[in-house]
Structure 1
Amino acid sequence: MSISGALNNAMTGLRAAGRGAEVISSNISNALTPGYGRRLLSLSSSSVGDFGGVQINGITRVVDAGLAADRRLAHAENGNTRIAADFLAKIENLLGTPDNSTSLTAQLSHFENSLITGASRPDAAERLGGAVASARAVALALNSASDGVQDARTQADRTIHAQVEELNAALTQIAALNSQITGLQVQGGDVSSLQDLRQQVIDRVGELVPVREAPRSNGQIALYSVGGAVLLDGTAASLGFTPSNLVTPYMTLSGSTLSSLTINGTEVRTDSEKGAIRGGLLAAQFEIRDESGVAAQTQIDALARDLIERFQDPAVDGTLAPGDAGLFTDGGGAFDPLDEIGISDRIAINAAVDPDQGGATWRIRDGIGALAQGDVGNASLLQALGDALTDPRVPASGGFGGGAFSAISLATALTSDIAVSRNTTEQKLSYSAARLAELTERQLADGVDSDDEIQRLMLVEQAYAANARVIETVDEMLQTIMRL
């Protein structure tokens, strides 16, 4: 080998060692950076004329695409399940557990006890007032539960709007990165950093809507939701959604009073079973707004209806005519079976027994329609009201099956159903969290190994020192020749 050839080999070796040290340093410094793909320097032998040496072919980004896709789907599933569990926990808190003194079942129990106490001393005004106050507390508990459900639906609607905007921005960014990667790749540049950035954005999209990547030419990718919607293929899809300022019990997607989701102007399904965007954070918000929230409102309304109908029966209170409002009213009037939606938000005690509304508490003893006080020692109506509260009755609506329930047992059945659903969802959440943790750990293990990188860095340093020694030796040889 000539001196020129040796010098050329050593110079190319130095350049390769220096570039290798940069790549390894980048790996170590970004070991915990989300979306970062481990780099490897690709080298090959070079042969130009009589010269050899080392040729730098480029940088290879090492990523297990299958593992990354599985982790992304697991992340979306975990987020979806967590939101569902949080919603059910909120509804359970609104209704309260039986051991909670402010729970709906506890309020009904207090009301029952107040009727019994009042019947034992129907002449005691404070006991009649206590019964009226207990009835008011039951109505307010139902109002609060209904308000809480609609607040959750309203918040879900607002979150959908924010997430759709975020999703549109992310898809546009990915499309732009696709173009940049193609342009830089054609020029022979290193696209690894752009691929890392694109991966981070894809991971965020995957949280909102579970997606799968499809490779395209020149380093580009396409994105499809697991529900089959095309989110990105060449150009980014445009998602549309119109938010509502306030969601009420009357507003539903099926009734066309709430906005649906559109992709490129075409309406798509958003249900949890077959929706085009099912499985992620965005789908979880649609589920709260259009499915879980509606179902919870329906059950609470069924309980409120049952309570109203128990006390507006003329057989219970003989002072009532058919169609008159009883102890519990629909916003002050009698209940209309054709207007059940939102009844739990409108239920209130009859103004005739409420001193705050100009009524008198003695009417809970003598009758809602009584014009004057009767026998102060007559407890028959109070006893009839107590019986109406505890008599088994088949609910006229709601998903309670065909069994007969007292008012308290119906409320207990509702809270029990919510608790069971929450417990089941939390079990799913535990599983999805464990699966996500395992896949994340596997992905990290498949990523940058700091110990391995340091070992590679030591080898690079040795190669650098060896090539530097060759250059030093060539320099000594040339100096010797020059002195001859």
Structure 2
Amino acid sequence: MSLTSAGAVAAKSLGVISNEISVASRNISAAGIAGVSAKRAKIAAGDEGVAFLGVGRAADAALFRSLVSASASQAGETAIADSLARLDQSMNLQDSANSRSPAALIGKLSSALQAYSASPANETAAQLTLDAAQDVVASLRDAATAAQTERRQADIGIASAVNDVNSLLARFGALNSEIVSGSVSGADVTDALDQRDDVLLELSKIVGVTTVMRSNNDMVLYTDSGVTLFETTPRHMTFSETTNLSPGVSGAAIFIDGVQITGAGAPLALNSGTIQALAKIRDELAPRFQTQLDEIARGLVAAFAEKDQSGAGGKPLPGLFTYPGASEAPGASLMAGLAGAIEVNANVDPARGGLITRLRDGGVSNDPAYIYNSSGATGYSTRLIELAGADAAPQSFDPAAGLSGSGSLKDFASAAIGWLAAQRKQSDGATSYFDALVSQTTQALSNATGVNLDDQMTQMLALENSYQASAKLLEAVNSLFDSLLSAIRA
């Protein structure tokens, strides 16, 4: 090798090592920053020494896909678990001694009626029974309000999430264009690739995403159900809030470029992500619980209704419990929204001008034909004993509630709380699983692609030694040239 060649190789080596040191310094400065991958200098060896070809990054496509999928499931299950927890808290279900569930308070009402039947002339016992009935009404109304609140908040959350999706897709599009054009020109696009991955990860928490890679690092996005989210340009997600999500009213569906992705009849419904979970809360879980509450309320009105005592065959009329506009006791069909409208009959409430003794004597409707204690005896207990067992009497329930179509009010109310508990247990279990999966996958991905400070410092020392060696070689070549030139001049 000539001195000229040796000098060129040494000079080129210094340039390559300088670039490698720059990359290592870049990694060291980014150590500990989430989402930043380790960068590496791309080096190629040739006849004239090594050449610096650009900057690459550490990547593990399989692990990243797993993280994207797990993040979507985690976000969705967390949203459902949080919603069910709030429903649980609205009735204080975790405190069995002070539970405000309809099932628990119906049981307390039955106990109060039993105590009242043992002392039918006792006004205190009568008032305690009325208080227990009002507690049942309050629990149903509060639970119905909580269910409707969850529906409304889910609808608002969907609107916010849709806006976030459109914003993230716009950012993704800008980064994708930068990456593709940079890949074509040979520019360093590693930081843009990291940023695009971060946007994709955020997007996956809202809507389940699958990806397809094309040439020049171009990426195409689809929902986990197959609807195109991004291909060269972002697709637009649309949704309109429902201002009055009253019981029985369905929320609006979500569309991507006219393709329905949530709601009944959606051909390509989402499978994971926050939007899918919020739609499930709004359209399935909260409405189902609301329906169960409505059936409990209907069952209460029916169970405590009064029958015609005259023998004329009059229709059963609302007794202790009623609702606005009630003209007769309800049948076995669902009455949407009844849990939020049920009330203690004013005719038995002294605070509203009623007579509390009508609990014992009947005639709550003010119709003499429905009076049970026709003699007016203060020791009369037959009606109270009958009411004390009303929650255990068999009746029919609407199948729309998703529970047994027949049984006692007590059992149906307990089954409704059991349904909520089962849903929460399932969701909590799924949330714990995906929390662990996301944590483990994030750690594995960090280990595979993140910056290891110890490794980078070791590499930096090695590069500095290599730089010094190349510098000494170049210095030796220059010295030889100087000696040669001196000899020629002599």
Query: Mean alpha-carbon deviation: is it higher for 235-244 or for 33-42?
Result: 33-42
Is residue 103 from structure 1 mapped to residue 96 from structure 2 by the alignment?
Answer: no
Tell me if structure 2 keeps the 8 A contact 1:316–1:385.
no
Cα gap change, 1:408 to 1:204, in 2 (>3 Å): same
Equivalence for 1:326? 319
Question: What are the equivalent positions in structure 2 for 1:215-230 lying under 5 Å apart?
Answer: 215-230=213-228
* Deviation at residue 66 of structure 1 after TM alignment: 1.4
* Deviation at residue 341 of structure 1 after TM alignment: 0.8
Equivalence for 2:379? 377
**1:242-279 alpha-carbon deviations (Å, 9 max, x no partner):** 11334221211xxxxx2111111333344799753221
Give 5+ residue unaligned stretches, structure 2. Answer: none
Is residue 343 from structure 1 mapped to residue 346 from structure 2 by the alignment?
Answer: no
Question: What are the equivalent positions in structure 2 for 1:208-219 lying under 5 Å apart?
Answer: 208-219=206-217
Cα gap change, 1:369 to 1:481, in 2 (>3 Å): same
Query: Mean alpha-carbon deviation: is it higher for 85-94 or for 72-81?
Result: 85-94
1:430 is paired with a residue whose SS is helix
Return the alpha-carbon distance in structure 2 between the equivalents of residues 194 and 384 of structure 1: 75
Cα gap change, 1:377 to 1:202, in 2 (>3 Å): same
Is residue 456 from structure 1 mapped to residue 490 from structure 2 by the alignment?
Answer: no
> What one-letter code is carried by the residue in structure 2 that aligns with 1:344?
A
Return the alpha-carbon distance in structure 2 between the equivalents of residues 193 and 46 of structure 1: 28
> What one-letter code is carried by the residue in structure 2 that aligns with 1:36?
V
Query: Mean alpha-carbon deviation: is it higher for 7-16 or for 370-379?
Result: 370-379
1:404 is paired with a residue whose SS is strand
Return the alpha-carbon distance in structure 1 between the equivalents of residues 396 and 109 of structure 2: 21
> What one-letter code is carried by the residue in structure 1 that aligns with 2:358?
R
1:231 is paired with a residue whose SS is strand
Give 5+ residue unaligned stretches, structure 1. Answer: 253-257
Cα gap change, 1:339 to 1:87, in 2 (>3 Å): same
Moved over 4 A (4+): 270-275, 315-321, 334-339, 370-373, 478-484
Tell me if structure 2 keeps the 8 A contact 1:79–1:281.
yes
Question: What are the equivalent positions in structure 2 for 1:173-192 lying under 5 Å apart?
Answer: 173-192=171-190
Equivalence for 2:290? 297
Equivalence for 1:255? none
Question: What are the equivalent positions in structure 2 for 1:235-314 lying under 5 Å apart?
Answer: 235-252=233-250, 258-270=251-263, 275-314=268-307
1:44 is paired with a residue whose SS is strand
Return the alpha-carbon distance in structure 1 between the equivalents of residues 443 and 312 of structure 2: 72
Tell me if structure 1 keeps the 8 A contact 2:13–2:50.
yes
Return the alpha-carbon distance in structure 2 between the equivalents of residues 362 and 409 of structure 1: 29
Query: Mean alpha-carbon deviation: is it higher for 19-28 or for 289-298?
Result: 19-28
Cα gap change, 1:316 to 1:283, in 2 (>3 Å): farther
**1:188-229 alpha-carbon deviations (Å, 9 max, x no partner):** 210111111111101111111121111123321100111111
Equivalence for 2:348? 353
Cα gap change, 1:371 to 1:323, in 2 (>3 Å): closer
> What one-letter code is carried by the residue in structure 2 that aligns with 1:442?
A
* Deviation at residue 94 of structure 1 after TM alignment: 3.0
Tell me if structure 1 keeps the 8 A contact 2:74–2:434.
yes
Query: Mean alpha-carbon deviation: is it higher for 113-122 or for 23-32?
Result: 23-32
2:225 is paired with a residue whose SS is coil
Tell me if structure 1 keeps the 8 A contact 2:176–2:219.
yes
- Match among 89, 97, 105 for residue 85 of structure 2: 89
> What one-letter code is carried by the residue in structure 1 that aligns with 2:463?
V
Equivalence for 1:471? 474
Query: Mean alpha-carbon deviation: is it higher for 210-219 or for 83-92?
Result: 83-92
Equivalence for 2:197? 199
Is residue 412 from structure 1 mapped to residue 414 from structure 2 by the alignment?
Answer: yes
Tell me if structure 2 keeps the 8 A contact 1:249–1:294.
yes
Cα gap change, 1:317 to 1:149, in 2 (>3 Å): farther
Return the alpha-carbon distance in structure 1 between the equivalents of residues 88 and 444 of structure 2: 37
Return the alpha-carbon distance in structure 2 between the equivalents of residues 382 and 283 of structure 1: 49
Return the alpha-carbon distance in structure 2 between the equivalents of residues 9 and 394 of structure 1: 92
2:260 is paired with a residue whose SS is strand
1:194 is paired with a residue whose SS is helix
Cα gap change, 1:408 to 1:322, in 2 (>3 Å): same
Tell me if structure 1 keeps the 8 A contact 2:298–2:338.
yes
> What one-letter code is carried by the residue in structure 1 that aligns with 2:41?
L
TM-score normalized by the length of structure 1: 0.90
Equivalence for 2:391? 389
Return the alpha-carbon distance in structure 1 between the equivalents of residues 129 and 286 of structure 2: 32
**1:406-454 alpha-carbon deviations (Å, 9 max, x no partner):** x333222221222122222222222222222222222122123333323
Equivalence for 2:443? 441
* Deviation at residue 43 of structure 1 after TM alignment: 1.2
2:343 is paired with a residue whose SS is strand
> What one-letter code is carried by the residue in structure 1 that aligns with 2:9?
N
2:449 is paired with a residue whose SS is coil
> What one-letter code is carried by the residue in structure 1 that aligns with 2:261?
V
Return the alpha-carbon distance in structure 2 between the equivalents of residues 197 and 100 of structure 1: 52
Cα gap change, 1:317 to 1:214, in 2 (>3 Å): farther
RMSD: 2.6
> What one-letter code is carried by the residue in structure 1 that aligns with 2:96?
D
Equivalence for 1:15? 15
Query: Mean alpha-carbon deviation: is it higher for 377-386 or for 143-152?
Result: 377-386
- Match among 131, 134, 137 for residue 136 of structure 1: 134
Tell me if structure 2 keeps the 8 A contact 1:100–1:106.
no
2:41 is paired with a residue whose SS is strand
